[in-house]
Amino acid sequence: MDYTDINSSYYKNKFENSGFIKCENTGEYPPCGDTFMLSSEIGQGYFWYYEVPGKYNIKIHDFRFNEDTVIDMKIPECLSITRYDSISGEELKPYRKLRSGLIKSFRGGYEPYHALIHKYIPIKSIGIEYHPNYYNKQLKSLFANLYQNPAEAFKSIDETTDFPEMMKLLWDIKNYRGDSLSAALYFEGKANEALSLVYNRHLLINSRKKATVSAADKEMLDALASYINDHYADNLTIDSLSKIGCMGTTKLKKCFRIYFDCTINEYIQNVRLDHAEHLLLYTELPVGEIAKAVGYQAAGHFAALFAKHTGVLPLEYRKSARK
């Protein structure tokens, strides 16, 4: 199969060969497009798919697996942007934990996608995937002399929790219930709007950038990250970390954001919640004690952060993963 050609049969065949069966729309997804139900032998839930061949497709994942499942899949050449509301697992090449509550970009057509998806935790996402001929044509039309490499624009997104416009746009698509004719116009407009949002964000990032992190500062930031990894449950303040890192607070926050592509608070929160997942799976500690063990005094606050991080509440996560 030519993976540079996204056609209407590729994803449908891929999912049908992976245990998904075409079915009637449940009413939970836009009326147009195709809905597939996952075989109960493999898991539970649905996959929804809409495509304009040669331009873009929109995919909704709303299912879970009965067993830990390795995904090893060639992806056609494309650029995609996806909102994740729930997922648990790891990308394996390169290794990176899969997280929810964020926007994630992806470039297909090069290395196969290789990931481990954890059993029983729902995969809930909505994304748009663009054919290369389409995004090149549209971006050149929209931005003319400001046109830059689209792959770099999508790469600059990577993973971010700070893209509210895109979060809303994808959520609106998921909840759209117009008929086929209005849907075609609606989805076309949203697909173009999403491209513009990605590109405008890239231009903004480039205009602000330009601060570089010195080799000495990188070494100190790596040491600081190691300190956070070992002391994540402590009361880590910007003031205390700036002293440890031998930087002023303003410089530390700026350099840390550039180097790790997240804020210090986001980094600490991710480390804490990753450890909380392990404690929920492999200990019998109550949620309140786990919250304190990873650095949160209020169990309710911890539960809310955990739900945003994984898409499910702590006890649901423990119960689902142990089935």
CA distances from 229 to 90, 215, 265, 274, 276 (A): 19, 21, 13, 11, 13
Count how many domains the chain has.
2
Is pTM beyond 0.85? Reply is no
Q: Are residues 184 and 223 in the same domain?
A: no
* Sign of the alpha-carbon torsion through 164, 169, 173, 179: positive
DSSP secondary structure letter of residue 157: H
| Boundary (domain end) residue, out of 156, 182, 208 | 208
pLDDT at residue 127, rounded to an integer: 97
CATH code of the domain covering residue 59: 2.60.120.10
Q: 274 with 180, same domain?
A: no
- Residue 60 confidence (pLDDT): 97
Q: Whole-angstrom Cα distance, residue 59 to residue 11?
A: 10
Q: Pick the last residue of a domain from 164, 188, 208.
A: 208
Tell me what pLDDT residue 6 has.
Answer: 38
Considering the domain boundaries, does residue 4 fall inside one?
A: no
The span from the CA of 136 to the CA of 148, in Å, is 10
What spatial distance separates the first Cα and last Cα of the chain, rounded to whole Å?
38
Domain boundary among 163, 190, 208: 208
Kindly give the confidence (pLDDT) of every residue in the chain, 323 residues in length, as a single tens digit, with 9 standing for 90 and above: 333 333 456 777 788 788 999 999 999 999 989 999 999 999 999 999 999 988 999 999 999 999 999 998 888 889 999 999 999 999 998 888 898 989 999 998 888 889 999 999 999 999 999 998 888 787 777 766 666 778 888 888 888 888 999 999 999 999 999 887 899 999 999 999 999 899 888 877 766 555 578 889 989 999 999 999 999 999 999 999 999 999 999 999 989 988 887 899 999 999 999 999 999 988 999 999 999 999 999 999 999 999 988 888 999 999 887 76
Owning domain of residue 290? 215-321
Q: What is the DSSP letter of 39?
A: P
